[in-house]
Structure 1
Amino acid sequence: MHLYEALREALHAHPDARIATTRTARTYREVLADSTEKAGLLDRVVPRGARVLLALPNHLGYLSSLLAVLSRGDLPVLADPSLTGAEIDKLVTECGIDAVVDATPGILGIRLDDRSWVRSTGVEGPRPEPAPTTELCRLTSGSTRSPACIEFSAEAVLAAARTWAQASELNQADRSLCFAGLYNGLAFNTTLIPSLLTGAEMILATGMPSAGNILRQVAGARPTILVAFPEAYNRVAEYPVDSIPAQTRTALAAIRLRLSSAAPLSTQTAARITTLSGPVSDYYGIAETGPITFNRTPGVGGTHGSLLPGVSMVSRPRADGISVLQVRTRSMGSKYLNYPGEFERSIAEDGSYITSDTGTVTDGQVTLSGRAQPTLEIGGRKFSVDSVRDPILSFDGVTDCHVLQLTTPSGRPCVGAAVETAGDVDVSRLRAHLRAAIAAYKVPEILVAVDALPRGTTGKVKSTAVRELLLGEFRQPIGGDR
C-alpha cells in the first residue's frame, strides 16, 4: 500500500487544495473522507485485496473512488469508460477482475456516487499473477488489439509524477484544466498524480469538447495550465476570433502552459493558438514508460523537446533491422498482466523499452520522424506500409488512410486500406491512380472510402476497428468496385 500511503500523506499536507469542475469543487480533505466511506461500500461487494476495474468518466468522485480502492489494498485497473461491454468482459476474464466500477447502474451493483456503481464479476478459475511490486495498472490504447494491462509499481507511478512536476514547475498556485480522461497517460502523469503531490488544483472539464464549451470553461476556470489532445486545439483554432469575448481572451492569455500529446498539431492550428493564447507544448510519453520529453519552447529548433530528468534514449536497430528509439525511465511498467512474456520481449539487454517510434536524439533533444511500420508481404514480396500509404495520400480529396495486410476467406494475403476523404472521392479513379503509381501487388485489393477513420479518445486510429471494417467487405455481395 505504498502508493496509497504516499497519496494520503500528500492530501493531508494540502487539505484545502481542490479537485473541481467549473460548477463545484471538493477539497482534498473532503476527498479523503469520501474515500473512507466508499471503501466501506466496496467491502459489501468484494473482499479486500481484489482486482478492481475502474472504467469511469472524469467527475469529482473519480479520485475518491481510486483512493478507496487503493486504501483496501486492492489492485486498481484504470480503463477508458468508452470500452464496450464485450471488451470489459474480455478484460475481466484475461486479468481476473473481481469487481467493476463504471457508470452503469444495475440491480446487482451498489451505488458509490452519482456517477458510478460497483458490481462483483464473480470471476473464478486460474488467473495471471501480478508482479509482487505492482500497485496499479493502466491499459494501452488497444489501437491494434484488445488493450494490454500494464503493471506499475508505486515507485514508477510516483516517479512519473515527480519528474513531471519538476519539469513543468507545477506548484500550489497552479490550476490545471484537463480535457483528457484521468485514466489516460496524458492526464494521469501530468495532472492527476502530480497535482495530488504538489497541492495544485485540478479542474475536470465537463460536457462535449466543442470550441464554444472549451472557451467557456477556460473563461470560467481561468486555468494556468491547459491539458488537451490535438482535436481540442483544432476546434478552438477554427472558432471565429471576433466572436471570442474579451474576458475569454484574457483568460486564454493568462495560461502559462498549454499541453498536447498523441499527435502533432498542424502548422495552422499551432500558429492560431499561439496568437490567441500562446505556444502549445508537446508532451511525449508512452503508456509503458510514462513521460519522456517536454517541449518547453515549442517551435524552437524543430524538435519534440528535451528528455526529462532521469530519462535516457537512443536510436538502435531492432531485430528486423529498422532503427527505432529505445528509452529508459524511472516510471516504466514491469509487465503486461494479460499478455505474459510480451512486455519482456520489448526490453533490450540494457533494460530499455524498444518503442515503435523512429527519430533521433541529439544533445538530449528528441526529434520524432514517424513510426516503424510493419512490413507487408504479398506473394513473397516485402514492402512498407508507407509505400502504399503515401500515394493514397497524394490523391486529391484524401485526408488520411490506414493500410493493413488482410487474409481473405480462402487464406490468401492481400492489402487493404480504409481511406478518409473530404467530400466524395471516386474509388475507381483512386484505384487507377494507384495502379499508375505503384506495383500491382501493392494496390489494395480492399479499398474503402469513409468520412472518418475510427479513432480512440486520443485521436489515434483504431487498427482493430479498421480491420473489421475491411474484413466486412469480404462478406458483401459480389459486384461493384471495392
Structure 2
Amino acid sequence: MSLAADFERCADLYADNVALCGPDSSVDYHELRENSLRAAEWLSGTRSADDRSRIGLAARNSSAWVIAYLGILHAGAVPFLIDASVGDSELDRILDDCSLDLLLHDRDAAHDSIHALPGLTAIHRHLGERRHLLHPDTEVCRFTSGTTGKPNCLEFSGRAVHAAAENWATGTGMTADDRILCCAGLSNGLAFNTSLLSTFLVGAQLHLSHGLPTSGRIRRLVAGAQATRLVAFPALYDSFVRTGSSRADFASVRVAISSGAPLRADTKRQFTELTGVPIGNYYGVAEVGPLTYSTTSAAESLGCPLPGVNIETRGSDAQDGAVHVRSASMATRYLNAPGLLESRIDGNGHYATGDRGRMVEGQLVLTGRSNRMINVGGRKVDPVEVGNAVSSVPGVEHAVVLEVPDQHGEPAVAAVLVLREGLGADEVRLRARESLAAHKVPTLIRVVDAIPTTVIGKPVLHELRSLFDAGPS
C-alpha cells in the first residue's frame, strides 16, 4: 500500500475528526483529503525528466506544508523534505545535487517564483539528464548532514515510512484522543516520525507551531490546543526549566517527547518535578528511524527497542560495544552518495550507528561515540565521556567538548562552557581531574554566555572551533 493510499484509508476512517490545526487553518480529515487532492491536480502538471517528478518542500510548519506533502504523494511524485532554515547556497546545492523539478517554499518570492498553492510559492527547474536515479521503491526523501561535506539525501520506501509511524504509535500508546503539539520542523526526523503519519494512522489531532518556540508562546499553544503530547527539541525544555514552568501550564499534557540532541539529565528531572509531566526520551538515527523510547526517570536510559527494532552491541567488552541496529523503517540508500549507506550495513541488515553503548535489562544506555574519538598523543579520548565529567561539575550550565588543533597543530581536547557566575575555567579543570585521566582533561577552554546551536538544538561546531583560532586560553 502506498503512502497516499495510507492517508486515504485514514480519511475514510476518521472523516469528521479534526485532523490538523496550524497557524493558518484547521481542517478535519475529510477537508484535509479534499485540499490535498486539489493540490495534487496542480502538482500533476509538473514536468519531469523521468517517470516521477521530484518536488522539494522547504517551508515552516503549517497546514499548507501538510497539504502540499500529501498533494505530492497523491500526484505520484516524490517529496524531498528540506529544512526550512537552510541557507540559499545550501538550498541551491540540494536542488542541483538531487535534480529537483520544482521547489515549494514560503520564503520571500524570488524573481522566478510563481504562485502555487495557498501559503506556498514555487520555483520550476529546467533540467537535463538526472545525475542520480531514484530507487523504484522510493516514496519520500529526507536529508541528514553527512560526512561527505554535503547534505546526504535519504531515500525511503513507503513501507519504511509506514513502519516508522505505526511502530511509534504502537510502541508509545498513541490513540485517537491524543492532541499532538509539534514544535519541531516536519522535515526533521523527530517530527516526521512522531507527529505526521503516526497521528493520522490513529485518527488523532496534529497541532503545529512555527516561528521562534519561546517558552511563553508554547505554553499558550499547549493551553489553546489542550495538547496531550508535546514534541520539541531539548533546548525548549531547558527554557521551560529556566523560566519556572508549573503543572498548571501543562495540565492537559501526558508526555513530552524529546530528541535530536542530548537532553540534559538535570533538565529532564527538573521539568518533571516542576510540571508533573514525564519526558519521553526518543533515540533515533536518521538512516534507520525511531529506535527506542522511554519515560523512565533514569537519565542514562534511552528505553527499550520499539516494535520492529533490533539492537546489538558488539566488541571485545560485551557490556560496552559498538551499537548496531536493524529496523523496519530503514532508508534504502543515499540518493546522492551511491554505495555509502550500503557500506554501513552488514549482511544481517544491521546499520553501524557510530555510537557505543550497552543493553541493561533490555534498555539501551549510550556511553559514547566510537568514530569521533580524539587522538591525543596516540591515546583515544571520547568527547562524550569528557563532556559528562565536565558537565557534572557544580556551576557548569552547559559544556561542549570537541577536538581543535593546539599551537603545534596537534589534536587537543577543547571545551566551550557556559558557567554560573563565580566559577572559572581553572576551577573546572581542577574538578574534572577528579574523574578524568590527565590526558582527557580539556587543555583549551572558552567560556561563553550561550552555546550557538542549530534549529534542532545541536551545537554549531564550526562556530565553536572558531573560538580557538586566537590560540590557547
**TM tier, smaller:** 0.7 to 0.9
* Structure 1 residue 315, shift from structure 2 partner: 0.3
Q: Which amino acid in the other structure matches residue 376 of structure 1?
A: I
* Structure 1 residue 429, shift from structure 2 partner: 5.7
Aligned length: 461
- TM-score by structure 2 length? 0.85
Contact 2:356 2:367 in 1 (8 A): yes
Residue of structure 1 in register with 2:33 after alignment: 32
* Structure 1 residue 158, shift from structure 2 partner: 0.4
Contact 1:45 1:119 in 2 (8 A): no
Residue of structure 2 in register with 1:188 after alignment: 192
Residue of structure 1 in register with 2:102 after alignment: 99
Task: Return 5+ residue gaps in structure 1 as ranges.
Answer: none
* Structure 1 residue 427, shift from structure 2 partner: 9.7
1:237 and 2:230 aligned: no
Q: Give the secondary structure class of the aligned counterpart of 1:150.
A: strand
Per-residue displacement from partner, 1:327-357 (whole Å, max 9, x unpaired)?
Answer: 1111111111122111112112311111122
Residue of structure 1 in register with 2:416 after alignment: 419
Percentage of pairs with the same residue? 30
Q: Give the secondary structure class of the aligned counterpart of 1:112.
A: strand
- TM-score by structure 1 length? 0.83
Contact 2:22 2:61 in 1 (8 A): no
What is the CA–CA distance in structure 2 between the aligned matches of 1:351 and 1:9, rounded to whole Å?
Answer: 31
Per-residue displacement from partner, 1:178-236 (whole Å, max 9, x unpaired)?
Answer: 11111111211111011122211111124432221111111111112221222222222
Contact 2:55 2:78 in 1 (8 A): yes
Residue of structure 1 in register with 2:327 after alignment: 329
Contact 1:19 1:25 in 2 (8 A): yes
Residue of structure 1 in register with 2:292 after alignment: 293
Q: Give the secondary structure class of the aligned counterpart of 1:343.
A: helix
Task: Return 5+ residue gaps in structure 2 as ranges.
Answer: none
Change (3 A) 1:421 1:441: closer
Per-residue displacement from partner, 1:96-140 (whole Å, max 9, x unpaired)?
Answer: 222211112223122234532111233444511222211111112
Q: Give the secondary structure class of the aligned counterpart of 1:456.
A: coil
Equivalent positions of 1:21-60 (< 5 A) are: 21=22, 24-43=25-44, 45-47=46-48, 49-60=52-63
Q: Give the secondary structure class of the aligned counterpart of 2:55.
A: strand
* Structure 1 residue 360, shift from structure 2 partner: 1.4
Residue of structure 2 in register with 1:4 after alignment: 4
Deviates more, 1:136-145 or 1:228-237: 136-145
What is the CA–CA distance in structure 2 between the aligned matches of 1:145 and 1:466, rounded to whole Å?
Answer: 18
Residue of structure 2 in register with 1:354 after alignment: 352
What is the CA–CA distance in structure 2 between the aligned matches of 1:9 and 1:427, rounded to whole Å?
Answer: 60
Change (3 A) 1:268 1:424: closer
What is the CA–CA distance in structure 2 between the aligned matches of 1:112 and 1:225, rounded to whole Å?
Answer: 33
Q: Which amino acid in the other structure matches residue 384 of structure 1?
A: V
Equivalent positions of 1:186-335 (< 5 A) are: 186-240=190-244, 249=248, 252-262=250-260, 263-295=262-294, 297-299=295-297, 303-317=301-315, 323-335=321-333
What is the CA–CA distance in structure 2 between the aligned matches of 1:454 and 1:425, rounded to whole Å?
Answer: 22
Q: Which amino acid in the other structure matches residue 41 of structure 2?
A: G
Residue of structure 1 in register with 2:340 after alignment: 342
Identify which of 61, 66, 69 aligns with 1:63.
66
* Structure 1 residue 70, shift from structure 2 partner: 1.4
Deviates more, 1:223-232 or 1:394-403: 394-403
* Structure 1 residue 442, shift from structure 2 partner: 8.8
Residue of structure 2 in register with 1:381 after alignment: 378
Per-residue displacement from partner, 1:406-438 (whole Å, max 9, x unpaired)?
Answer: 599x9x55447461333789999699979x998
* Structure 1 residue 2, shift from structure 2 partner: 1.8
What is the CA–CA distance in structure 2 between the aligned matches of 1:86 and 1:329, rounded to whole Å?
Answer: 34
What is the CA–CA distance in structure 2 between the aligned matches of 1:201 and 1:106, rounded to whole Å?
Answer: 34
Q: Give the secondary structure class of the aligned counterpart of 1:326.
A: strand
What is the CA–CA distance in structure 2 between the aligned matches of 1:330 and 1:307, rounded to whole Å?
Answer: 12
* Structure 1 residue 361, shift from structure 2 partner: 1.7
* Structure 1 residue 464, shift from structure 2 partner: 4.7
What is the CA–CA distance in structure 2 between the aligned matches of 1:398 and 1:56, rounded to whole Å?
Answer: 33
Deviates more, 1:41-50 or 1:68-77: 41-50
* Structure 1 residue 62, shift from structure 2 partner: 1.0
Change (3 A) 1:452 1:148: farther
What is the CA–CA distance in structure 2 between the aligned matches of 1:447 and 1:187, rounded to whole Å?
Answer: 35
What is the CA–CA distance in structure 1 between the aligned matches of 2:311 and 2:388, rounded to whole Å?
Answer: 29
Q: Give the secondary structure class of the aligned counterpart of 1:83.
A: coil
RMSD (Å), alpha carbons: 3.5
What is the CA–CA distance in structure 2 between the aligned matches of 1:183 and 1:80, rounded to whole Å?
Answer: 6
What is the CA–CA distance in structure 2 between the aligned matches of 1:87 and 1:301, rounded to whole Å?
Answer: 36
